Structure 1
């Protein structure tokens, strides 16, 4: 499994960004290898968001990015925000026992 952490700083409206992100979320959810994601909004800085997305493997994630349909999603999000996507490998997870 890999985890994408993508931090967004809005340059456009929050409502438009959330709508565009919802559309992008639906696109990714239909891709092979997608596991789950969460979009988080900063409590004190409403123009900051973080997307945490889990994928089965890096190949699946990269393949989703190469889909021609993704270009429109990328353009919509870039028109409304600056982002900093990074991939991570999970090392430790703990849940209550």
Structure 2
């Protein structure tokens, strides 16, 4: 279960449009990316990849972080570009951003 804590109020999120026929490879690459993230990045809490029920090539990812500094440090590591690029290369479009939780219900 994805739980919200006071520590997990910051998120990196991606909106991924995957090339036809590449969804399984994208899922594998994303899993490798976030496995590395979990192992090598202090401040990472958890991540989820969700798939659009109406469009199987559309995915949204969420990664919870302790604070914005940890999220920024993650993106600055040389390995980030490689892992992110392995996912992005399988997409026709990708939008990413950093977010702060303002309310939970």
TM-score (norm 1): 0.89
Length, aligned pairs only: 94
1:41-74 deviations in Å (ceiling 9; x for gaps): 0001000000011101111011011111122112
> Paired residue for 1:56?
66
Instruction: Tell me the equivalent position of 1:44.
Output: 54
Higher mean alpha-carbon deviation, 18-27 vs 69-78, is at 69-78
Q: What CA RMSD, in Å, does the superposition of the two structures yield over aligned residues?
A: 1.2
Structure 2 CA distance for aligned equivalents of residues 89 and 22 of structure 1 = 23
Where does residue 4 of structure 2 map in the other structure?
none
CA distance in 1, matches of 2:64, 2:84: 18
**TM, length-normalised to structure 2:** 0.83
Deviation beyond 2 Å, 4+ runs, structure 1: none
